[in-house]
Structure 1
Amino acid sequence: MRLLLIHSDGFAFQSKNKVPGAMAEDVPEEQHTIEIKDSVLVVYITVEKKDEQDLDKAIQLAGEEIRNYARELNETRIMVYPYAHLSTDLGGSKNAIKILNGIKELLQGDGFQTFKSPFGWYKAFQLNCIGHPRAESLRSIDVEKAVVVEEKPKRREEDRSKFYILQLNGKLIPYEEFDYKNYPNLKYFMEYEVSGSRVVTEQPPHTKLMKRLEIADYEARADPGHLRWYPKGELIRNILIKYLYDKVIELGAMPIETPVMFGTNHPIIQEHLEKWAERQYLVSSGEKTLFLRFASDFGQFFLLSDQLISYRNLPLRIYELTKYSFRNEQSGEVVGLRRLRAFTMPDLHTLNADVDQAIEEFNNQFSLCSEVMADSQIDYEIAFRVVKEFWDKRKDWILTLIKKVKKPALIEIFPKREAYWIMKFEFNFVDYLGKAAALATVQVDVDMARQYNINFIDEKNEKVHPVILHCSPSGALERIVYAMLEKAYIKQKREKGTPSMPFWLSPIQVRIITISDKHLAYAMKIVEALEKEQIRVDLDDRGETVGKKMREAGMNWIPYVVVIGDQEVESTTLTIRIRETGENNVQMTLEKFIEHINQNFKPNVRLSLPKPFRLLSTYPKFS
């Protein structure tokens, strides 16, 4: 099925004659002429043969897409218009009528005022496209794959980017000729990039793990891609937030906060809406149309454009944690924690006097991103996207960067600059299904300062546009959690290892298990001693067998399990199971155990466990 959606200021049609060879729909006389004076979303629909495989699914997919688009536009009126000119592979008249009427009924059930023109008639119509950035959209629906794609003009061959692999010896090889034998994840990543498809046809494993571990879950009453976070998941995010805050402060950044929504009448915002129209969430406030930001750039750059900045202030770094940023990703791409419509993004922007200073600062931020990946224990593939002119001048410098991470990199070379950046890099995680997700990134921006009129006063007392670095040291925090869960699943399924999370991010770091109730008082002393060190500890005080308690601790990926019985109470020595090494019955005094944990608490970012999680007998369950 193909949909041409046009937001129109009024619409009218009148049936003329039946189409020869088609089944002309028999409708009452008054339905052959309609005039709508108010705004309306007109949906021209071509039903194709492949839609006949599953009529109900075709109706559902089309109805959902039209509904979401109408809500994006804050439009309450929809015109369903049969239109045979968007495809040559037309479905049969009978099934087309069923699908079109089904779409109308579905949209009416969603509360829209819905109109439909009759199928199988030549019609005259009047249309007045409103002309805003989202007023027109062409989409195709693949019923078999349950995928909706918004179609865009194809690039000319000479304008297309080309993919290569840059080896550690400096040799640049076309991606088809590279030997991926020792780099299986790089192969998955390369295939993912070249395919251009971001559609997910099955649920990745982390979606089950995030629920079972009580981290996050889907919220059926919200828009897809907006999740609910349980206390353990929110604890993980808050640890990451504190960790990243400390990292950027150490780098020299200044934290700020800017609005989450903006008006659409500013020229810069209008230009951005046109370029990235498909990403927008639009909302109404009285007579105003507002959009929810998809990045912090708008607020940060408006703020910087209002400042008086000297060359002595450079490099000038500002940092914002956007909770949230919003992108209206296509429904077939939204899945779990990997791709969301509302996400938490740490955004660092740095003003630099020129490209040379930007490169020096880039080196520091590249190292920062590498540290974040290492501390999060996330494996990654590295990609550089670069304009050819910049590549020709700076390829030796780029080679020094991949030598730092000691692995070959994907290089995408663009014949000319198409966006605000001349070079950017990403660390990309490849999940169990072979799908890639960008995490940390740094981008060299040579255009946004001009667009936003951001200036600094140079040594000659003249206004100059700075070069801006865009950096997210981690990427969206939700993707960090996604990557850690997927990595744990890969370790368990492919490597036959024990799944786990990094110790510093584990919601529960130590679990105390008692053999009987008479050991509870002593166990509570252990809990209190660990809590004083801000080690997150809980106590399994239930009347279950030790075996069951141990199994549940394993299911919850608890890094350290301490068993307390008569022997431990009498000897004041703890019996410990260490998940990472698989060691059982490790004997330590409490003091040595605390010393051991503190030595391995890296990075040393500590947040306390919420008190309701202290005792398993009163443990709140979330699912």
Structure 2
Amino acid sequence: MKILLIHSQNVEVIKNKEATSNPQEFPEDIIEMEGLVLVCYVSVEDQDTYDTNLIAKQGAGEIEAAILQISRFPDVIRERNEEIRKHNRKIEKNEIKGKPRKMLNLIMDQSMYRVDKVLVYPWAHLSKFLSNEANAMEVCPKIARLLQEKGIEAKFSPFGWYKSFKINCLGHELAEMYRDVKLAIKPEEQVKDSKFKVITELGKEIDLTFDEQKKFLPLKEITDKDFKLFLKSELGSRTVDKAIEPAHIKVMKEFELIDFDENTDKGNLRWYTKGVIMKNLIKNFVEDRIIDYGAILIDTPIMYSVKNKKLTAQTARFPARSYWLESGKDRFILRYASDFLLFDLFSQMNLKPQYFPLRVYEYEQYDFRREQEGELSGLRRLRGFIMPDMHTLCKDIDSSIEEFKKQYQLIKNLEKDLGIKSYVIFRVTKDFYGENKDWIIDLIKTEKQPALLELWEERYAYYILKFERGVLSAENKSATLATNQIDVESSLEFMIDNEGEKRQKYNISFTDSDGQIKHPIILHNSPTGGLERVLWGLIESAIRNKESIVPGFKTWLSPIQVRIITISNEQNEYAKRILDIINGESYRCDWDDREESVGKKIRQSEIEWIPYTVILGKKEQENQTISIRKRLIGEPFGPKKQTSEQTNNVNLDDLLEKLEDDTRNFPKYKLPKPFRKFSTKIYFRK
């Protein structure tokens, strides 16, 4: 909805001729309103048709706020002038330096800053994305009625007529205003009162208690220092200190993985070659595992219509975070998740009991969420991001629980193979936990470390259980990676919201073997979390533990897996042959062919976290062997901060066997040819 507000001295509207085939009744030939009138020209838009009562309520609220803004304006000026007087007195007393400020004056007498009456006028010229007539004509009368209920004298101009009108805009500071009102279905309330527990690695429940400042009190039974820091972040402020640049940003830039681009919207990234390699490796890795798990693949569009009520019922919950896209006479929203179009597809399918559990995986190459600028943080929180996502339709709650247990292990294995250490959180209703605590605790015990449990008095969202895996940053701030939820609401035809309003859902159904029409339970599983956040977690964890654990990426994921170092130019031909053999096996190998010392080349390899460094000297060339420095990635430092172990004069096959062992059952990805030698390597950053 768009609203143009004009503060006028008197208003006159004269009926001329019908403009539509079904205009509203216009019993008077003329509408006259004397006094100080706020004329509200209203364009009702396409998405508003989802719920004309709701958009009318929002519109009336904006008009009421504008009335208050006008009436309070003289007081605002008075308060500002008092601040100016104080400022100027300080200058006179030499308490501060600067020039005196000028006092502010109202354009009109302060008695003119009030609204006696309101006229709500249907006005199609503020938007090209208009609602249909049947719905649009309902809105202005509803707005007027809502204002009347607030004690405001209000009328509406009937819809569907050619009319002439006379207004006399007062021309003061707030006499002309504009409002863009996005349909906003109230999102589910956040939990106000919930109870927290720690589940130990042995399955013992420990209640968390809080002091008067709502800070949780330390637990003597918990000795895991990192878990204590995790609790502090989860239960306290998770705000990131903007004065401190997140540790991963320096690494992602210096390694030429990912960067920012000032020519796009903030929170959207530029991926360099090595970053693209890692991104595609993770994509292929997750997709392979998900297919082996039993999922089918889907790819849905990245934008959707605002005219579909099923979609609007969900997407209008966060209008401020939506990206809008215009295309001809229509407009669309860029998706921030795949659920909407996928669930709409489910609702159109002839689902059969034998399909279940129906696992559907989508690699969402593009998702968009317009986070507030202050919330953006490197790879941790973005506006454009990649999300691997699997949704599973289950026949009933019992089968959904069994499926959840299997997917719990799937997620655990994925994070292990990525090299991520995380902590588990279960968020669940008290009733569901009471009936299912045994298997939940059994899952937690498999972690061999404590977990956090949040209990809600009642369900406040579409799910009865939400499982998360959180990772600590170098600054000891946590963020969620993988999640899974048991959704008991989205498949229904309708639900009743917190205000008692009936809300459209997707109406996903199947006919069971007993002939009954039923609605499946849906699992929402992001098996790794957002791909950018996976890299965030890997880099932040590596930096966080850099004093005790050798940092690096697992061999299968490292953009460069092997680096060849030659001691002199005499080994160049031998190095070329080794380089071709290793790359020919689809491993990513480069050659540092610079005229630099061996020590400097080795240091560079260490800086870049290269898993294997091959050293070729005179002896290796003569014996047709190689010497290998293996970086001890993910292991404690050796004596004297040793980061590598070296094996001298071994066959190339020994290295190929090590690479095969490290990358077995993981995807391979070739290194582009310019990156195979330092002399031909492309550098993106100056």
TM-score (norm 2): 0.71
- Residue 649 (structure 2) aligns with: 587
Is residue 540 from structure 1 mapped to residue 530 from structure 2 by the alignment? no
Matched letter for residue 335 of structure 1: S
Question: Could you tell me which residue of structure 1 aligns to residue 438 of structure 2?
Answer: 396
Q: Partner letter of residue 614 of structure 2?
A: V
Give the residue type in structure 2 aligned to 1:461.
G
CA apart distance, 1:352: 0.7
1:173 aligns with 2:173: no
* Residues in 1 aligned to 2:82 and 2:346: alpha-carbon distance in whole angstroms: 60
SS in 2 for 1:228: strand
Map Cα deviations across residues 151-190 of structure 1 (whole Å, 9 max, x no partner): x99879xx52222212234332222353375223322332
Q: How do residues 178-577 of structure 1 correspond to structure 2 at under 5 angstroms?
A: 178-179=219-220, 181-195=222-236, 197-201=238-242, 202-450=244-492, 451-492=505-546, 494-495=547-548, 497-577=549-629
Q: Which runs of no fewer than 5 residues in structure 2 stay unpaired?
A: 10-35, 45-65, 86-105, 119-176, 210-216, 493-504, 633-642
Residues 388, 119 of structure 1: alpha-carbon distance in 2 compared, 3 angstrom cutoff:
farther
Q: Is the 8 A contact 1:200 1:332 kept in 2?
A: no
Alignment of structure 1 residues 106-117 onto 2, 5 Å: none
Match of 2:353, as an amino acid? Y
Match of 1:578 among 600, 615, 630: 630
Report the counterpart of residue 109 of structure 1 in structure 2.
none
How many angstroms does 1:304 deviate by?
Answer: 1.2
CA distance change for structure 1 residues 310 and 584 in 2, over 3 Å: closer, same or farther? same
What secondary structure is seen at the aligned counterpart in 2 of 1:418?
Answer: coil
CA shift in 2, pair 1:488/1:285, >3 Å = same
Aligned partner letter, 2:200: Q
Q: In structure 2, the residue corresponding to 1:351 is in which secondary structure?
A: strand
Give the letter for the 2:611 counterpart.
P
What SS is found at the alignment partner of 2:583? helix
**Deviations, residues 347-373 of structure 1 (Å, cap 9, x unaligned):** 111111111111111111111100111
The DSSP-based 3-state class of the residue aligned with 1:617 is coil
Contact 2:612 2:630 in 1 (8 A): yes
* Structure 1 match to 2:4: 10
Secondary structure of the residue aligned to 2:316 is: helix
1:38–1:301: structure 2 CA closer, same or farther, 3 Å change rule? Answer: closer
- Superposed CA offset, 1:250-291 (max 9, x none): 111001111111111222222223323343222222333311
Deviation at residue 305 of structure 1 after TM alignment = 1.2
Shift, 1:603, TM fit: 4.6
User: Which residue of the partner structure matches residue 601 of structure 1?
Assistant: 663
Letter matched to residue 229 of structure 1: W
Letter in 2 for 1:133: L
- Give me the whole-angstrom Cα distance separating, in 2, the residues matched to 1:583 and 1:515: 19
| Partner of residue 182, structure 2 | 132
Could you tell me how far apart the structure 2 residues matched to 1:345 and 1:83 are?
Answer: 48
Asked if the contact 2:201/2:447 (under 8 Å) is kept, the reply is: no
Q: Distance in 2 between matches of 1:424 and 1:155?
A: 14
Give the direction of change, closer, same or farther, for the CA distance of 1:34–1:305 in structure 2 (3 Å limit).
closer
The answer to whether the 8 A contact 1:264-1:289 is kept is yes
Deviates more, 1:528-537 or 1:315-324: 528-537
Structure 2 contact 462–488 (Cα < 8 Å) conserved:
yes
Structure 1 range deviating more: 420-429 or 178-187: 178-187
- What per-residue deviation string (whole Å, max 9, x for no partner) do you get for residues 120-178 of structure 1? 96723677866532599xxxxxxxxxxxxxxx99879xx52222212234332222353
Q: Which amino acid aligns with 2:508?
A: I
> Is the 1:129–1:135 Cα contact (8 Å) retained in structure 2?
no
Summarize the Cα distance change of 1:578–1:410 in structure 2 as closer, same or farther, 3 Å threshold. same
Secondary structure of 1:460's partner? Answer: coil
Give 1:501 shift: 1.2
Please report how far the alpha carbon of residue 325 of structure 1 lies from its aligned counterpart in structure 2 after TM superposition.
1.1
State the 1:410 CA deviation.
Answer: 0.8
1:163 is matched with 196
The question of whether the paired residues in 1 share the 8 Å contact of 2:203 and 2:445 is answered with: no
- After superposition, the C-alpha distances for 1:204-232 in whole angstroms (9 at most, x for unaligned) are 10011110011101111211111111110
Letter in 2 for 1:11: L
Give the Cα separation in 2 of the matches to 1:380 and 1:199. Answer: 19
Q: Is the 8 A contact 1:165 1:411 kept in 2?
A: yes
CA distances 1:58-93 after superposition (whole Å, capped 9, x unpaired) = xxxxxxxxxxxxxxxxxxxx9xx79969x99x9744
Q: 1:269 to 1:405 in 2, by over 3 A?
A: same
CA RMSD, 1 decimal: 3.3
CA contact (8 A) 1:383 1:410 kept: yes
One-letter amino acid matched to 1:583: E
Where 1:522 maps in the other structure, the secondary structure is helix
8 Å Cα contact 2:203/2:442 also seen in 1: no
Asked if the contact 2:70–2:114 (Cα under 8 Å) also holds between the matched residues in 1, the reply is no
Distance 1:119 1:619, change over 3 A: farther
Mapped partners of 1:252, 1:346: distance in 2:
15
Alignment: residue pair count: 525
Query: Structure 1 240/119 Cα, relative in aligned 2: closer, same or farther at 3 Å?
Result: farther
- State how far apart, in whole Å, the 2-side matches of 1:210 and 1:91 are: 49
Residues 71 and 114, structure 2, Cα contact 8 Å, conserved in 1: no
d(CA) in 1 for partners of 2:280, 2:447: 28
Residue by residue over 1:337-396, the C-alpha shift from the partner in whole angstroms, topping out at 9 and shown as x without a partner, is 011111111111111111111111111111110011101111111101101111111111
- In 2, distance between residues paired with 1:352 and 1:246? 22
Identity over aligned pairs, percent: 36
The separation in 1 between residues aligned to 2:335 and 2:84, in whole angstroms, is 39
Aligned to 2:143: none
The residue matched to 1:595 in structure 2 has which SS?
A: helix
In the TM superposition, residue 196 of structure 1 has moved relative to its aligned partner by 5.5
Q: Is the 8 A contact 1:426 1:441 kept in 2?
A: yes
Q: Contact conserved, 1:458 with 1:464, CA < 8 A, in 2?
A: yes
Shift of 1:427: 0.6
**Structure 1 residue 560: Cα displacement:** 1.0
2:594–2:678 Cα contact (<8 Å) kept: yes
Counting only pairs closer than 5 Å after superposition, residues 91-110 of structure 1 correspond to structure 2 as 92-93=80-81
Task: Give the conservation status (yes or no) of the 8 Å contact 1:180–1:186.
Answer: no
> In structure 1, how many angstroms separate the alpha carbons of the residues matched to 2:108 and 2:618?
82
**Cα distance in 2, alignment partners of residues 434 and 312 from structure 1:** 46
Question: Structure 1 counterpart of 2:287, which letter?
Answer: Y
Q: 1:515·1:545 contact (CA, 8 Å) conserved in 2? A: yes
What's the offset of the Cα at 1:512? 0.6
Which residue identity does 2:425 align to in structure 1?
A
Pairwise CA distance, 1:547 = 2.1
SS of the residue 1:407 aligns to:
coil
